Structure 1
């Protein structure tokens, strides 16, 4: 067909840009800057690279929920869709400030006080503040390099009882050690619906773990888990304690399940990677590997010792 490209045809600039974006967006946790250098070297076209980077970096930063230090060192801001005010401005609810982000450089360039319309009502802030304090204690005790934030997702203008509202807890932790050929990240998002009429809370969680090992190889883990639980609508302090306990329990159970999976890798995943029948057409005796002796077989084949 006339519109089909031949194998030797040159890619268009738009095609190159989309391929570059794909590699940037799918970079492992903490490695987009390394991928960016390689993409730039392969493209050899600054205009195409910068066009791709301007679209890919914001998406990557939000999906990985990266944490950046505020310029005045008053705290950190998590780059997430829940705190996004516009394409490069993000709310930090804890300090009631709005940070301006340079997505490509992954730095916070300036900060300003949040406007009243960007913050929740005093009634909602009571619940948000209490939950933020409890979750922060939990994260500090659980994740060595973890950060968290609590946002009002719906109903921030609610002035008192009688209406539903929703808050979101975001937890992000990264451990990057490229000198040891490994990087990893933890991301969890907890949506909490406060249902006033039913006097109940609905907690929905999504946890995601990513890890990349690349010493003499390339092994990646990308695991996700979702859960849901309900509890009673209580005072701000009691609700905060209950919600944090729910988060702690589910995250602990998920981490424990991952550890069990690691222990079972040799007997499950790695075994499945092997041939069902080797070249000898004989099943490998996984139940008694000691009966296989490479040295004995070689000696027999070569006639050594006869």
Structure 2
């Protein structure tokens, strides 16, 4: 990294930190450690790097919904704002435990039982656990490398019916294979707003998909979509089943649209490229039925090419 700014003046420590934070925060899925190694070497300033890492890693981990194995191997915890107790401590609602996280090393260092005030009431927990059970079944079928969690977002102290409350479903599936020059992830967040007056559950979802292929090149997929739906408020068990089916439907539909888009990639996007041939001067066989499309490859890497995700 050059020591000179745009006007020929040396970069200050804060400027170096800001530049390093940008590179770290924008690292592709599963590649922040590789980026960090290069950034540290280019900076040549350990103090600036440490400050940048302390700022960038927590946000990167939350943005990418990083999942980490709990120290007691009882499951995985998702690093998300919905479970954030403070900067380094996160709630795993399924096991009712708080994990202390080392963001830079991306590991859980210790575990403790959650206090009563950190958990929802028994009434809210009925809905939370029922939805968690059904969603975890769906994720287990659709994403062999996936994890999920359900958090209470508001009304956690509600003891009985009579007021509104909210839950959030978080799904994270990642496949990291740097030796094969490929990393990718599927992330989705579904917020559920329970209206007691209308006996209605409003559902809003955001699905994010990214993939990075970097063998003799640099190809990235980064896409997302917002979804809306609703259902009537039922018993916890019936609500859980319905919510899981709604999520399954929208995620399956989005995956199918991605697959269709990339099957037609050569006829659309690539015709608009200024350079019609890559540096190798060799056309990629997009129309070859034996060639793997970006979406199919992503599906294979994430392990989601079965069940409801692919419509034949």
Deviates more, 1:69-78 or 1:244-253: 69-78
Decide whether aligned partners of structure 1 residues 8 and 157 sit closer, same or farther in structure 2, where only a CA change above 3 A counts: same
What SS does structure 2 have at the residue aligned with 1:150?
strand
TM-superposed deviation, 1:75: 1.3
User: What is the aligned partner in structure 1 of residue 242 from structure 2?
Assistant: 242
Q: Offset of 1:99 from its aligned partner?
A: 0.1
Measure how far apart 1:230 and its partner are: 1.2
What is the total number of aligned residue pairs between the two structures? 273
Please, which runs of 5 or more residues in structure 1 have no aligned partner?
277-306
Q: How far, CA to CA, are the matches of 1:266 and 1:84 in structure 2?
A: 43
Deviations 1:245-296 (A, max 9, x none): 00000000000000011101100000111479xxxxxxxxxxxxxxxxxxxx
Shift of 1:7: 3.9
Q: CA deviation at 1:61?
A: 0.2
Which residue of structure 2 aligns with residue 10 of structure 1? Answer: 10
Which 4+ runs in 1 deviate beyond 4 A? none
Q: What residue number does 2:19 align with?
A: 19
Closer/same/farther in 2, CA of residues 193 and 27 from structure 1, 3 Å limit? same
Residue 35 of structure 2 corresponds to which residue in structure 1? 35
The two structures have a TM-score, normalised by structure 2, of: 0.86
Q: What is the distance in 2 between the residues matched to 1:158 and 1:142? A: 33
Alpha-carbon shift at residue 45 of structure 1 (Å): 1.2
State the partner residue of 1:72. 72
- Aligned to 2:105, what secondary structure does the other structure show? coil
> Which of the pair has the greater relative contact order for Cα pairs under 8 Å at 6+ separation?
2
Q: Superposed, which structure 2 residues align to 1:288-299 within 5 Å?
A: none
Which residue does 1:83 correspond to in 2? Answer: 83
Partner of 2:125: 125
> Which aligned pairs between 1:106-255 and structure 2 lie closer than 5 A?
106-255=106-255
Larger-gyration structure (1/2):
1
Aligned to 1:74, what secondary structure does the other structure show? Answer: coil
